[in-house]
Amino acid sequence: DTGVSQDPRHKITKRGQNVTFRCDPISEHNRLYWYRQTLGQGPEFLTYFQNEAQLEKSRLLSDRFSAERPKGSFSTLEIQRTEQGDSAMYLCASSPQGAVTEAFFGQGTRLTVV
């Protein structure tokens, strides 16, 4: 297993366009998280899946953001009508089931909205 994989690594889009990112977690991990990181800050939690169920959403996840994990494996994060403030690094993490488990992160997708 090669770890958590994210695609694309970089995305430049015009304001108002929709974008979609993909995350493939470590295969035996049933928990999947999305985070957003802006310059000079630590990552901030966006949303969390356990298998295919989306169990928690941050207040940062506006109506323009939607995430899915249809078969409990890979996940997608879509941003509709992108704004310049959406420019950030989007990070995906996965962890195995258990009360308290270690999370592993992907390489991230760097989004630039022009």
Partner 1 sequence: GIQVEQSPPDLILQEGANSTLRCNFSDSVNNLQWFHQNPWGQLINLFYIPSGTKQNGRLSATTVATERYSLLYISSSQTTDSGVYFCAVNWRGSQGNLIFGKGTKLSVKP
> Which parts of this chain interact with partner 1 (CB under 8 A)?
31, 33, 35, 37, 40-45, 48, 55-56, 89, 91, 93, 95, 99-108, 110
Q: Which is nearer to partner 1, 37 or 80 (CB)?
A: 37
Q: Which residue's entry shows tokens 């992907």? A: 106
Residue 57 CB, shortest distance to partner 1, in Å, is 11
State the CB neighbour count (10 A cutoff) for residue 50. Answer: 14
* CA distances to 19, 24, 33, 81, 114 from 49, in Å: 20, 13, 6, 24, 30
For 42-45, the CB contacts below 8 A with 24+ separation are 43/89, 43/91
In the complex, least distance from residue 81 CB atom to partner 1, rounded to whole angstroms: 25
Specify the residue, 66 or 80, whose C-beta has the smaller distance to partner 1.
66
Closer to partner 1 by Cβ: residue 47 or 82: 47
